[in-house]
Structure 1
C-alpha cells in the first residue's frame, strides 16, 4: 500500500468538498480499576449511588465489579466529548468513599484471580447472561487479563461525506452497502498501520509482579526492573502484547474484514464452532453456569480486535445481527492505553490525531486482506508492543523490511493534508499542531509515554505499583477539588435513580427459564423488551 495514494481525497479537493470531512462524531469509553488508597483492588460492589451497571447509559462496569467504565455520548467537537468525560469523573469521585481510580492500564494491587470480583448485573436474564459470559472468560483466559484497562475511541464518518463519496465514485451499490464497504476499508488500513498508536501512545511498558500470581510461568520472558516490577526495556504497550489482549487462545481465528457479509459470516462461524478445550470446562456444572457455550467464542465481544465496525444494537440484539440489518454506524478503535499523565486518561491533541488518522485510513486505497496480510499485521503489532522503541527496529510491509521510524514518518506525512483540512479556518491549527507533536515523538522515542514512564520510575526509585498509586492519588485530588456543574450533577443523580428503577423493572417481569432465554438469544428470538 502506498501511503500517499488517495484518489478519494483528490476528488474531494477538486470538487471543493473536502470540508465535508469535518464534524464526524467522537465518543470515548474509558475503563479504570477502583482501588483502595493502599493500592489494593476494590472488593466492594459497584457504588449504588452511581446507578445500575446494567442499565445506566454512561456509567457501567466492564469485566470486574471493580472495573468501572465511563462512556460519553458522541459529539462533533472533541472538546465536548472530553469535557463530558471530565464531568463524569467529577461525579463519580463524589461517590467513591475512600477509593480512587487507577490511572494505568496494567493493574496492580491484585492477589491472584480470586481477588478480582466478577461484575454482577442482577437477577434478570440479560443480567445473568452478562455475568455468566464473564465467568466464561475467567475459565478460558483467567481473571487477571480481564482486569486490564484501556480506552475505546468511537468515530463515525460524517453522513454527508458518505453521500458525496458515493456519488463521486459512481457506485453501483446502495448507499448503505457503500458506507459499510468504506468502513471496512478504513478498518483494514488501520490494521495495517494501527501499530503507530502503540508506538506513540502506549503507556504500559512495565508490569507489577503480582499480575503473574495466577500465571507465574509467563514471568521468565521479562526482565526485572526492580523487586516488584517486570518489563521489556523497549516496550510500548504490554497491554496489547501476548500477555494482554493479544490472546494466544484466539491466535488461529481468521475473522474476515474484506466485506460486511464476510465479517459477519466468519464471526458467526466462530460463535457456532465447538472448541475441545472449552468443552472440557462444561456449560452448566452442578447447577451453576460456567460459560454461555463451549464454542470458540461465546459471543462477538469475546473477539479481541484493535478496531471493530459497530452498529447500535437494540435490546437483546446480537451485534452481528445489528450489523447485518442496519449496516455499519461507526468504528470502535480499541488499542489506546490509559494516559497516566492525564487525569481523564486522554487529551485533546491525542484525540485529534486519532480522528485524522482514521480519516486518512478511510481516504486511502485499501486492498482486500490476505492470510499473509493478517499474519504480517499481527507480527507488526506484537513487535511494536514489546520492542517498539528499540533502535533500528524494522517492521514488515509488502514482503520487505522497513525501519519503524521511516514508516511512521510516511504515515504522518500522509496525514498532513487531512489535518490542514480539519483545521479549516481555525487560526490555532489544532490538528496540525497535534500532528507536529507526534512527529517529534517519532523522531525521539524518549518522548513516548512508555519511555517517560520508565524514566520517571527510575528517577524516583519507585516500583510500578507505587508509581501508579501515587499518580492515581494526584489525579484523585484533582477531581475532588472540582465538582461537576449543578445541572450535570442533577442529571446524573436522576440517571442513577432511573437506571436502578429500570433494573428492578426487568427483574420483576416474568422470566423465561435461563437456558431457554439463552437458546432464544442465540437464535435471535428473545423477547424484545428484555
Structure 2
C-alpha cells in the first residue's frame, strides 16, 4: 500500500536543510523482573534496603509486588548507553541479593497461590501507604497472579528541532506544543491500529507454568509440555491477552485518542464513576480497607493501555493534570514482553525497530479513530496474541479481511523508506539492516521471539520454568562479570542511601491522617472532573 502523506513528509524531511532534524531522539526504559530463589520460586524476602527505598529511588524500585523489581534508566539519546545503564543497575542489584536471581521472562515463576505474592511496601508515609493500598485494590479486583507478570516499558520523545521542522513543513504557525500533542496522538492511533505487529515480532510469552491458572478453566487450546507447562502452538504474547495484563472490566471504558481533552475526559470519567463490580470491597474509609475507592479505576495508573501519552509531573501533580498543563512530552510503550534472549529484557534490534516503527506511525496519515475501530484493533491484537504464528491467520483491515503476512509486508515496505531516511540523518545503515532482518520474520514465524522460545522448549523438552531458570542463572553470572560502564558501585550505593533518607523525610513531613490525606486527594479529582 502506498502512503501519500508518509512519502511526502519523508521527501521533505530528507532535504539537506531538514535531514538532521530527527537526530537526538531521547529514550528511556523501565524493565520489570521478579526476584526468585535459586530454585525458581518467588522470593519472600523484603525489598533489600541496600538497593534503596522503592518510594524514593528513581532508578531501582518495585511495581506491584515486593518481589517485582523495576529498573528505570535515565533518559539518553544513545540506545547502547541505555542498555549499558540497565546492565549496571542489574549488576548492582544482584550483588545485594546474595542468592537470588532475576526472572528473565514475562510470565511468573513457580507460584502455587496468589497469596504467596507479597504487596510492595513503601513505608509509613501517607503517599507510601496509598501506593500499597492501591495494590491491595488491584489484588482484590484482578488477582495477584496477573499483577506479577513482568514487562518492559519503552519511553520515547522526539527532539524539538524535529517538531519545529515538521510544523514548518505542515504550513502551521500556531502553538508548537499543541502541534506536538496532536501529532503524538496521531502516532498513538496508528500504533493501536498496527500494535498486532509488535505482538507478532516481539511477543515472548507463548507458554506459562500451569500453576498460573490456579485451577481455573480456560477456553484457550493449550497443549501440555514437560511436567506442568502449557503453551499455545501459534501463540505470541499471552501477557497481552485475556490471561495477562488486561482488564475485561475496562473493555467498555470509552477512553479515546482524538484530542488531548477527549483522552483526559475519558480517564477522569472512569476515575469518578462507581463500579458495580467493586462495591462489596471496603474503601479507605473502613478500618481494614481493601481498595482505595469503589470506582471503575482507583487512580489513573490502573488504566491498562499498551501505549500512553505522558508528561513528567511536578510534585503532587497527577498524570492528567500534567498533560493538561503542558501537553504531551513523550510516549510510553507498554506492549513489550520481557525478551528472554536478552539479559536486559530488550535488545538493540528491538529499540531500533521501535525507533523506525514509531516514526512511521507519526509521519503517516492518522485519521480520527471511532469506538468501533478501536474495538477492531483489539480484536486483531487478540487474534495475534493467540494465533499470530499461524500462516493462515486473517486480520481485519478496515472493511477487508487480509492475511497477517500481506499486511505486515505492506507495513515493512513503508518501514524501509523510514529506515532509509533515518539512516541518512544519522550517517549509518543500522536502521535499514534492522528492518531487512525483521522483515524476514514475516514469512518465517520461527524467527520471531515467541517462535524461537517455543522451539527451544519443544526441542529440549523442558518446562517453561526450567528453561527460564537456566536463563536466569546464566544472566546472573554474566551480570556479575559485567564491568560498569555508566555508573559504579559507589554511586549506586550512595543513591540507595540518599533514597532511605528521602523516604524518612517524606514520612516526617506528614501532617494529616491517612484518611484526611485521601479525602483531599480524591476531592480535588472530583472538582476537576
Q: TM-score interval w.r.t. the shorter chain? A: over 0.9
* Residues 207-242 of structure 1: CA deviation (Å, up to 9, x unaligned): 1011111x6123765232343011110000000111
Match of 1:164 in 2: 165
Q: 1:54-69 to 2 correspondence within 5 Å?
A: 54-69=55-70
Q: 1:43-58 to 2 correspondence within 5 Å?
A: 43-58=44-59
Q: 1:312-351 to 2 correspondence within 5 Å?
A: 312-351=312-351
Q: Is the 8 A contact 2:153 2:332 kept in 1?
A: yes
Match of 1:398 in 2: 398
Match of 1:463 in 2: 463
Distance 1:431 1:278 in 2: 48
Matched, 1:424 2:424: yes
Match of 1:357 in 2: 357
Q: 1:201-350 to 2 correspondence within 5 Å?
A: 201-213=202-214, 216-218=216-218, 221-284=221-284, 287-350=287-350
Q: How far 1:247 sits from its partner (Å)?
A: 2.0
Q: 1:203 to 1:3 in 2, by over 3 A?
A: farther
Match of 1:36 in 2: 37
SS at match of 2:35: strand
Distance 1:216 1:3 in 2: 46
Q: Is the 8 A contact 1:394 1:404 kept in 2?
A: yes
Distance 1:465 1:349 in 2: 26
Distance 1:219 1:230 in 2: 13
Q: 1:485 to 1:368 in 2, by over 3 A?
A: closer
Q: Is the 8 A contact 1:212 1:219 kept in 2?
A: no
Moved more, 449-458 or 23-32: 449-458
RMSD (Å), alpha carbons: 1.8
* Residues 439-461 of structure 1: CA deviation (Å, up to 9, x unaligned): 11112101111111111111111
* Residues 289-343 of structure 1: CA deviation (Å, up to 9, x unaligned): 2111111111111111111000001122110011000110100001111111111
SS at match of 1:465: helix
Q: How far 1:12 sits from its partner (Å)?
A: 2.2
Distance 1:176 1:426 in 2: 25
SS at match of 1:402: strand
Q: How far 1:167 sits from its partner (Å)?
A: 2.3
Distance 1:431 1:11 in 2: 19
Matched, 1:193 2:199: no
Q: Is the 8 A contact 2:238 2:244 kept in 1?
A: yes
Q: 1:316 to 1:221 in 2, by over 3 A?
A: farther
Q: How far 1:511 sits from its partner (Å)?
A: 2.9
Distance 1:146 1:176 in 2: 35
Q: 1:116 to 1:244 in 2, by over 3 A?
A: same
* Residues 170-194 of structure 1: CA deviation (Å, up to 9, x unaligned): 3264111111101000000000012
Distance 1:127 1:219 in 2: 39
Distance 2:280 2:500 in 1: 37
Distance 1:360 1:425 in 2: 15
Moved more, 57-66 or 71-80: 71-80
Q: 1:425 to 1:129 in 2, by over 3 A?
A: closer
Matched, 1:495 2:495: yes
Distance 1:2 1:281 in 2: 53
Q: How far 1:270 sits from its partner (Å)?
A: 0.6
Moved more, 424-433 or 412-421: 424-433
Q: How far 1:79 sits from its partner (Å)?
A: 1.2
Q: How far 1:22 sits from its partner (Å)?
A: 2.4
Distance 2:4 2:518 in 1: 48
Distance 1:191 1:347 in 2: 22
Specify every segment of 5 or more residues in structure 2 that has no aligned partner in the other structure, as ranges.
none
Q: 1:93-108 to 2 correspondence within 5 Å?
A: 93-108=94-109
Q: 1:339 to 1:427 in 2, by over 3 A?
A: same
Q: 1:2 to 1:146 in 2, by over 3 A?
A: farther
Q: Is the 8 A contact 1:28 1:81 kept in 2?
A: yes
Distance 2:254 2:519 in 1: 26
Match of 2:480 in 1: 480
Q: 1:151 to 1:194 in 2, by over 3 A?
A: same
Q: How far 1:283 sits from its partner (Å)?
A: 0.7
Q: Is the 8 A contact 1:318 1:524 kept in 2?
A: no
Distance 2:252 2:439 in 1: 35
Structure-1-length-normalised TM-score: 0.96
Distance 1:114 1:399 in 2: 46
Distance 1:460 1:377 in 2: 36
Moved more, 197-206 or 506-515: 506-515
Match of 2:112 in 1: 111
SS at match of 1:242: coil
Match of 1:528 in 2: none
Moved more, 15-24 or 357-366: 15-24
Structure-2-length-normalised TM-score: 0.96
The size of the alignment, in residue pairs, is 525
